[in-house]
Amino acid sequence: MYILHILVFITSILLLVNALPPKSPKSPKTYTIPLKKKSISNSLILHYASGSYAATNIKRSTDVSLANEFSNDDAYFCEITFGKHEQKFNVMIDTGFGDVLIPSINCTSAGCENKAKYNPINDTSFKTTNKSFGYDYLGGNVFGIRGTTTSMNVSGYISGINTTGLHFGLVSVFPKRFEFDEFDGIIGLAPEDDVLITPHEENFVDNLGEDFLDPNQIFSLKIGRHADQTESELTIGGIDPNKYTGELVYTQIAITAGQYYWTIFIDGFTINNNSLSFQRRIGRIVSGLSPIIVPFDDVHKIYQQIPNATENDGIFRIPCGSELKVKIKIGGVDWGIDQRDLISVRQLRNRQKCHGMIIGGITENNEWILGTTFLKNVYSVYYSLNHKIGFAKLNVSSLNFQ
């Protein structure tokens, strides 16, 4: 009788296990997503957050001081869908942010008027967490509720299908100044945002660890250059070896003050063959904005090397014929930046106006923000589980001239 009870118990356990929904097999496939470059107003204010109000769940963005002449920026976008009805959204890719934000059907603020809106009724996998959230950006406030889904589709890759789902924010209040920008939401590709979202929730990068086998629990970025007519693309679950030459040089992520972003140590900086002594600088890799942002003291030292450079609130106007040969040393390698990426040219009637794409701002812990001015010059690979980033020199033969 005792043996019979044991057999019945084991049989019940097996039946229960078999009744559980099976996980999808981890994907051996690599997904390559074309990215489109579009202009966006004031995107700089959208990307950094630190600190919080003690009494609320509203998060405050970093105060980066910028002149009005730098009111427009470029960002890179892809299309995603939700649910069987394929609700489509044009979203910005940002390695400097760890959350996913999508306008909700309940968003009636002016900032949502020209945005696609997510309707949970058309996504059978949606579950609300009954948790509100808020971000207090310099451009205005973002509010909403949080939920999960197992249907967010990025060119065939479905995030969170092997976990409790992708956690994301449904935005019900969106700043008016973004009303006419050609984006609906953001996919944050930072590893974690425990500073912003407490307790931690599985985000897009976390799900790569469950959806792919090692060493494919990664994503890679190639940011194209308009002047060369080169393509931009995000590769999920792999690397495109045709896009770079030589070896990938990996460097460990610098985890500072408990914050875990794509942040690395900067070993050196050279401009026009002059090495500047910047000690203990770290650089956060941010695909959601263009310039390189450095502390004010650093930006002054940099532009002292450029004749006739004049400052306007952290942004330096320079003669359009200026020579800028810049190298940033990371992982023991000097990564050169094309001069075309370092000078922004504006046409004003019969004359040109130029300013440098290295600008001054308020950053923390001697941190530099390395935007697409830097990323256009490297192929980059992001490996969250091993806490490292890889850089390689771009393969010039892969340029896509059209």
Residues 247 and 143 in one domain: no
Q: CA 355 to CA 277: how far, in whole Å?
A: 23
User: 27 in a domain, yes or no?
Assistant: no
Residues 263 and 358 in one domain: yes
Number of independent structural domains in the chain: 2
Residues 283 and 193 in one domain: no
**Average pLDDT per run of 10 along the chain, which is 402 residues long?**
48 41 58 90 45 34 48 83 90 90 93 92 93 76 91 91 86 82 88 58 86 90 90 95 96 77 94 93 92 92 96 90 96 96 88 91 80 96 92 76 32
The identity of residue 74, as a single letter, is D
End-to-end CA distance of the chain: 79
Note the pTM of the prediction, 2 decimals: 0.86
Segment 8-66, tens digit of pLDDT: 444 444 443 343 334 445 556 899 999 999 887 654 444 443 333 322 333 434 444 44
Residues 144 and 278 in one domain: no
Domain of residue 175 covers 32-50+66-208
Residue with tokens 């001697």: 366
Of 230, 88, 222, give the one whose Cα is nearest residue 155. Answer: 88
User: 220 in a domain, yes or no?
Assistant: no
User: 195 in a domain, yes or no?
Assistant: yes
Residues 243 and 164 in one domain: no
Residues 101 and 174 in one domain: yes
Q: CA 392 to CA 32: how far, in whole Å?
A: 18
At 174, which CATH number? 2.40.70.10
Q: CA 190 to CA 344: how far, in whole Å?
A: 27
Q: CA 307 to CA 276: how far, in whole Å?
A: 16
| pLDDT given for residue 271 in this prediction | 97
Q: CA 60 to CA 70: how far, in whole Å?
A: 22
User: 15 in a domain, yes or no?
Assistant: no
The identity of residue 254, as a single letter, is A
Q: Is the peptide bond before 191 cis (omega within 30 degrees of 0)?
A: no
Buried b (16+ CB within 10 A) or exposed e, 119-157: ebeebebbeeeeeebbbbbbbbebbbbbbbbbbbebeeb
User: 2 in a domain, yes or no?
Assistant: no
| pLDDT given for residue 259 in this prediction | 65
Helix or strand or coil: residue 327? Answer: strand
Contacts of 29 (CB under 8 A, 6+ apart): 156, 237
Contacts of 145 (CB under 8 A, 6+ apart): 104, 128, 129, 130, 131, 132, 133, 169, 170, 172
Residue with tokens 């091993």: 386
Residues 249 and 319 in one domain: yes
Residues 189 and 288 in one domain: no
Q: Which of 186, 208, 230 is the last residue of a domain?
A: 208
User: Is 280:366 a contact under the CB 8 Å cutoff?
Assistant: yes
φ, ψ (nearest 5 deg) of residue 372: -70, -15
Residues 255 and 308 in one domain: yes
Which tokens sit at 305?
């090397």
Residues 189 and 305 in one domain: no
User: Is 99:188 a contact under the CB 8 Å cutoff?
Assistant: yes
User: 109 in a domain, yes or no?
Assistant: yes
